[in-house]
Amino acid sequence: MPKAVSVVKVSGHCLDDPELIKQFASVVAQSDERLVIVHGGGLEISQLQRRLGIKPRYVDGLRVTDADSLALVEMVLCGSVNKRLVRYLLAAGVDAQGMSGVDRGLVRARKMRHEALDMAFTGEVASVRGEVINELLERGATPVVAPVSVGEGSNFNLNADPVAGAIASAIGARSVIFISNVPGVLADGQLVACLTRPQALELIERGVIHGGMIPKVESALDVLSSGVPQAVITDLAGWANRGGTTFIATDAESRVSEGKCQ
């Protein structure tokens, strides 16, 4: 029986720390699943922008990417971050293949619309060629994807979270795992192991899920909306030990027992 496939989205904070990236590569090497890795790198982009005298601009938490910034995004994400991650994965024994959404037209993008601002070269997913990823997986390779994607007349900078979800949907992945610097959703200081959509929305309404955790949870719920069976928010230690908070669709509520996914 073929191994299950999961998409792992790793945040930029893991990718500029040699010890963390080494740990990440080790967990990937030991996984019993076939994996597709999608990575961010926003911190390094902002650092380079400031060094070059370009002020980072954001709206609703999203980077506004002008022409100069797009060139930097391509340099950082498709270049230094992607190749650094591939290098560590290779050293751990993983047959990693670095690429971006541009390569082979993997991810087609369109310009993101905003009612108050021109988002310039900030884009959103239009479509994904799932067969590009599946061909690599069938050859035993682990795709490592930077979220720069191809659109009409230009490349676009996309947020890595929706790119991970769109790739997972296109290839029929079992789950999307969001690796960040938090172990998962906490309630009264305790990790919540499993949430359905209604439960997650209730925790947001009650203020239990707040601040920076809200967009993380919204990304997990978007994954469920795309038809992927589950999403997980966790940190490196949680992923290595099958921990974190798992989100499952409402029609799977029977699988939730005493806060644990069955």
Which are the catalytic amino acids?
Answer: 9, 12, 42, 161, 216
- In 3-state terms, what secondary structure has residue 158? coil
Distance CA 97, CA 77 (A): 14
Distance CA 147, CA 156 (A): 9
DSSP one-letter code for 79? I
| Helix or strand holding residue 115 (H, E) | none
- In 3-state terms, what secondary structure has residue 65? strand
| Helix or strand holding residue 121 (H, E) | none
The upper half-sphere exposure of residue 32, i.e. CA atoms within 13 Å in the direction of its Cβ, equals: 4
- CB neighbour class for 31 (10 Å; exposed up to 12, middle 13-18, buried from 19): middle
Distance CA 238, CA 164 (A): 19
Distance CA 166, CA 219 (A): 11
Report whether 174 contacts 231 (CB < 8 A): no
Residues 6+ apart with CB under 8 A from 143: 36, 37, 97, 99, 133, 136, 137
**Of 107, 121, 220, 238, the residue nearest 161 (C-alpha):** 220
